[in-house]
Structure 1
Amino acid sequence: MTFHLYDSARRAVVEFEPLIPGKASIYCCGATVQSAPHLGHVRKEVNFDVLRRWLEASGYDVTMVTNVTDIDDKILAKSAEAGRPWWAHAFIFEGVFHEAFRALGVRRPTYEPRATGHITEMVELIELLIDRGHAYPASDGSGDVYFDVKSWPAYGELSGMKVDEMEAAADSDPRGKRDPRDFALWKGTKPGDDASWPTPWGRGRPGWHLECSAMAGKYLGAAFDIHGGGLDLRFPHHENEIAQSKAAGRPFATYWMHNAWVTMAGEKMSKSLGNTADVLSAVERFGGRAVRLYLAGPHYRSAIELSDESLSDAAAQLARIDSFLARAREVVFAEPFTSILNLHDSDAWTSFAAAMDDDLSTPAALAVLFNSVREGNAAIAAGDVAKVRSSWSDVTSMLDVFGLNPDAPQWRSDAAASDDLTPVVDGLVRTLLDARAEARARKDWAAADAIRDSLAASGLKIEDTKDGARWSLVKE
């Protein structure tokens, strides 16, 4: 199969052709470690972790770089509010982000550079831009250095905007600029600012946009395959990255991929709006796999709405999958079986691969997975061991791609980590109720009664209604 992706720069679905055959290089804008992450922050990590797993399953050797922004205005402000040094504040919340990523089963990137560890590369990039006539030190002696937007005619190529139609940001500081739309590559030290490094233009600290260009160049070279990030970064952050990198003579990224937002009540989730959902709190309630499925299940370019119901639904879906896997093991395997990716020739795997190769169409891929679960359950009922084995292998391999295989080490204690097991129990019970409904439909009353009696023996009451069977705990 050939992987196709939607390239934000071309605004079209295109065929992925890596710069080096058999290899794939990815740079993702990482965390700005000012405070604890919400679910909107970590959707990108989950989406691009799935991309990485699929490319590896397709035979690519993947190098992924995700940076840590450990110095910027927000970190300075938050650390001052907390009454701690900025570097200590950044280190604390970098750890919180890592804890959240681990809780969602996100693999560590190949390299994870910190911005403060690459000041030399940033200064070198600024010097190159000044030499090429695309940057200039501020005329007011502040130590600021700006990128000259009008010196780069292609500015706006990613967002589709034209320089003459742009306005400066409302909070932009115009001092020392040739044009109010020029953006800062370097920020001179201000009174009381202890975050600074020496440069030819005076002490100061890097601009946010500069950091990513310098680190991408350091670890992936002047040109690499895919640059990823959230949709909110497309402008101005990614637009500025392209301009300063290409103006320095670096081809930069071949493809651009942007994931959409997580919303609450129709608004983008953000700390400024106060409509956030803490990652670790959600994991504690619903389990890491359920939160991951909630984030990975919709198409990465589709906005998703956050609610307790959506997270509960994800937990119930996983419970149905896990119920099948447990039953299949009892039929076929004496011990847990570890699947091997990319060794499948089944129709299910072919359909799954076609969906994933179509711009990571995870909803279509999940539909194939759940159909395989249904076929596997039917095979268990029919005693078709060969079909059970095939379905089990397909399902576990698909789960590997989604990072949801319950046999993976990071998930073995996931259920124990959640205090609220209601969604898990509901999924398991509904799997049995579905089997009971099928038995009733074929008038196999003995099988239907046996399932009902088994549930009753477990302390559950089953009530048949016009909308289907309902269950509840029997209160003593």
Structure 2
Amino acid sequence: MIQLYNTLTNEKENFIPLNPGRITMYVCGPTVYNYIHIGNARSAIAFDTIRRYFEYRGFQVNYVSNFTDVDDKIIAASKKLKITPREVSDKYIKAFYEDTDALNIKRATLNPRVMDTMDDIINFIQVLIAKGYAYESQGDVYYRARKFANYGQLSGQSIDELEQGASQRLNDDEIQKKEDPLDFALWKSAKEGEIFWKSSWGKGRPGWHIECSVMATKFLGDTIDIHAGGQDLEFPHHENEIAQSEAKTGKKFANYWLHNGFVTIGEDEEKMSKSLGNFITVHDIVKKVNPQVLRFFMATTQYRRPIKYSQANLEDAAANLKKLQGAYDNAAYRLKDAVEIQIDDERKKYLAQQKIDFEAAMDDDFNVQNAITVVYDLAKRLNVYSSETQVIKSVLEEFMATLVEELNIFGVFLNVHKEVDVDVKEIEELIKQRNEARKNRDFEKSDTIRDLLKEKGIILEDTAQGTRWKKDE
């Protein structure tokens, strides 16, 4: 039974989907006015890994993640770049797909855009007004937060705490428009020269929170299994989503709320964010770092924990990933002289237990750190077995298949079919000459051939089963 930590109840709960074998999952996506940074990627990687594990366990996942393409920052970018807000969004949505594809993040079942759901947003707001949960004021529309009985439950804050915080953030214009400092905007009247849509309250555009309520319920239903996003979205964004959605439908909005930890940077381990100016974009980093290393680095930390971004941690991830690839390559090399007999009982038992241990770790709120330890043990045993004098083909294949399958859940694809842009016949001939030289104790010639191959980017490894070669990475 999969257990997950539900932010709404602050407890680990058994996961029971609304419909057996099927999961509806909504993950808050980016505001597309710039390239995504590593903190944004952390959320996408964390929930992609969770999605992959659900699919590994046989679930069909309807995964929806939105693009916010109407926003103050997008409007500001459009003025600066002298293009329309849609053109700004189009540019950075294209970049988002390029960056997330590089990180092997599976594309969502659907990525709805605010601009394409405007009629639904307006209709949603009209229902809230009709039910008395919202009101129009000078062209804006606000939600009556205090009217919703459970307001503050997700973030664990009292009405008094929320009211005090809201009062401190308001300017004079907002104080005049609002009935209560807690109330939040569903619709904003357009300023001169801004993009707008027509509504019964006048020209304007939606508030941020209403967008996700509309898209989640429109594409996944009034009640969904899982709603996910970064910890910084708990309040006010997700709190407001619950209030809006449940006020409109009269039903529970989401059964489980998952929130990922931040990416921190620097000695002070400060949260990475665009507002603090301490961010590194995925667009830039993948030019310098193997995207699979960045993916592996982030996917192997449990989603609720913070991740410290540093060069040292990236190097550790690269070294560990190289060891896993090496274990696979060692086994693949031994396939050529493996014997054709059935896998033995001892290793059958190990593989069965290994799967149990892996799934037990992942079932425990997706504890990837414990799960990857189980994978490391598999790779270690595979290395030991590959060095034996006689190896069984079926044992190697089962171990290799398990390693590939489990790493796929982390979004890491081992290089199973290596393509090399070198003359394989020439390399094999040079290795043959080197082996003859060693046999004849002509070590000078042997070293010369090794150095020649090294200049070509070929690394030799002398093993008990013969000399292996690989391209230098």
Query: Same fold by TM-score, threshold 0.5 exceeded?
Result: yes
1:187-223 Cα offsets, whole Å, 9 max, x none, are 1111222x11111111110111000000001100101
Q: Which residue of 2 aligns with 1:213?
A: 213
Query: What amino acid does structure 2 have at the position aligned with 1:146?
Result: Y
Q: CA deviation at 1:175?
A: 3.4
**Runs of at least 5 residues in structure 2 that lack an aligned partner in the other structure:** 338-349, 422-442, 460-473
Q: Which residue of 2 aligns with 1:470?
A: none
User: Does residue 360 of the first structure (1) align with residue 360 of the second (2)?
Assistant: no
Q: Which residue of 1 aligns with 2:255?
A: 254
**Contact 1:37-1:278 within 8 A present in 2 as well:** yes
The correspondence for 2:155, drawn from 155, 159, 168, is 159
User: Does residue 349 of the first structure (1) align with residue 355 of the second (2)?
Assistant: yes
Query: What amino acid does structure 2 have at the position aligned with 1:327?
Result: N
Instruction: Give the Cα–Cα distance (whole angstroms) in 1 for the partners of residues 101 and 47 of structure 2.
Output: 15
Q: CA RMSD in A?
A: 2.5
- Give SS of 1:113's match: coil
The correspondence for 1:373, drawn from 379, 385, 392, is 379
Query: What amino acid does structure 2 have at the position aligned with 1:64?
Result: Y
Q: Which residue of 2 aligns with 1:299?
A: 302
User: Does residue 229 of the first structure (1) align with residue 236 of the second (2)?
Assistant: no
The correspondence for 2:332, drawn from 315, 324, 329, is 329
- Give SS of 2:229's match: strand
Query: What amino acid does structure 1 have at the position aligned with 2:48?
Result: D
Instruction: Give the Cα–Cα distance (whole angstroms) in 2 for the partners of residues 351 and 454 of structure 1.
Output: 48
The equivalences for 1:272-283 within 5 A come to 272-283=275-286
User: Does residue 401 of the first structure (1) align with residue 404 of the second (2)?
Assistant: no
Q: CA deviation at 1:171?
A: 5.4
Instruction: Give the Cα–Cα distance (whole angstroms) in 1 for the partners of residues 410 and 454 of structure 2.
Output: 34
Q: Which residue of 2 aligns with 1:20?
A: 19
Q: Which residue of 2 aligns with 1:467?
A: none
Change (3 A) 1:136 1:333: farther
Query: What amino acid does structure 2 have at the position aligned with 1:215?
Result: M
Deviates more, 1:273-282 or 1:59-68: 273-282
Instruction: Give the Cα–Cα distance (whole angstroms) in 1 for the partners of residues 291 and 254 of structure 2.
Output: 32
Q: Which residue of 2 aligns with 1:29?
A: 28
1:26-81 Cα offsets, whole Å, 9 max, x none, are 00000100111110011111111111110011011110000000001111122222
Instruction: Give the Cα–Cα distance (whole angstroms) in 2 for the partners of residues 252 and 23 of structure 1.
Output: 17
**Runs of at least 5 residues in structure 1 that lack an aligned partner in the other structure:** 335-343, 417-448, 462-476
Q: Which residue of 1 aligns with 2:319?
A: 316
Change (3 A) 1:454 1:34: farther
Query: What amino acid does structure 2 have at the position aligned with 1:133?
Result: G
Q: CA deviation at 1:387?
A: 3.5
Q: CA deviation at 1:407?
A: 4.7
Instruction: Give the Cα–Cα distance (whole angstroms) in 1 for the partners of residues 156 and 180 of structure 2.
Output: 20
Query: What amino acid does structure 1 have at the position aligned with 2:401?
Result: S
- Give SS of 1:331's match: helix
Query: What amino acid does structure 2 have at the position aligned with 1:323?
Result: G
Q: Which residue of 2 aligns with 1:102?
A: 101
Q: CA deviation at 1:102?
A: 0.6
Query: What amino acid does structure 2 have at the position aligned with 1:123?
Result: I
**Contact 1:348-1:394 within 8 A present in 2 as well:** no
Q: Which residue of 1 aligns with 2:81?
A: 82
Instruction: Give the Cα–Cα distance (whole angstroms) in 2 for the partners of residues 230 and 35 of structure 1.
Output: 18
Q: Which residue of 2 aligns with 1:384?
A: 391
- Give SS of 2:288's match: helix
Instruction: Give the Cα–Cα distance (whole angstroms) in 2 for the partners of residues 170 and 110 of structure 1.
Output: 37
- TM-score, normalized by length of structure 1? 0.82
Q: Which residue of 2 aligns with 1:56?
A: 55
Q: CA deviation at 1:165?
A: 1.7
Instruction: Give the Cα–Cα distance (whole angstroms) in 1 for the partners of residues 217 and 329 of structure 2.
Output: 47
Q: Which residue of 2 aligns with 1:174?
A: 175
Q: CA deviation at 1:454?
A: 12
Instruction: Give the Cα–Cα distance (whole angstroms) in 1 for the partners of residues 113 and 332 of structure 2.
Output: 44
- Give SS of 2:228's match: strand
- Give SS of 1:284's match: coil
How many correspondences in the alignment?
410
Query: What amino acid does structure 2 have at the position aligned with 1:119?
Result: M
Deviates more, 1:383-392 or 1:229-238: 383-392
Query: What amino acid does structure 1 have at the position aligned with 2:193?
Result: G
Query: What amino acid does structure 1 have at the position aligned with 2:391?
Result: D
1:267-293 Cα offsets, whole Å, 9 max, x none, are 110112111112132222221110001
Instruction: Give the Cα–Cα distance (whole angstroms) in 1 for the partners of residues 44 and 404 of structure 2.
Output: 22
1:162-187 Cα offsets, whole Å, 9 max, x none, are 12222215255333110122100011
Q: Which residue of 2 aligns with 1:197?
A: 197
Query: What amino acid does structure 1 have at the position aligned with 2:408?
Result: D
Instruction: Give the Cα–Cα distance (whole angstroms) in 2 for the partners of residues 364 and 456 of structure 1.
Output: 40
Deviates more, 1:294-303 or 1:169-178: 169-178
- Give SS of 2:122's match: helix
Change (3 A) 1:114 1:377: same
Greater C-alpha Rg: 2
Instruction: Give the Cα–Cα distance (whole angstroms) in 2 for the partners of residues 290 and 145 of structure 1.
Output: 46
Query: What amino acid does structure 1 have at the position aligned with 2:96?
Result: F
Change (3 A) 1:400 1:97: same
Change (3 A) 1:48 1:453: farther
Change (3 A) 1:41 1:17: same
- Give SS of 1:286's match: coil
Identical-residue share of aligned pairs (%): 37
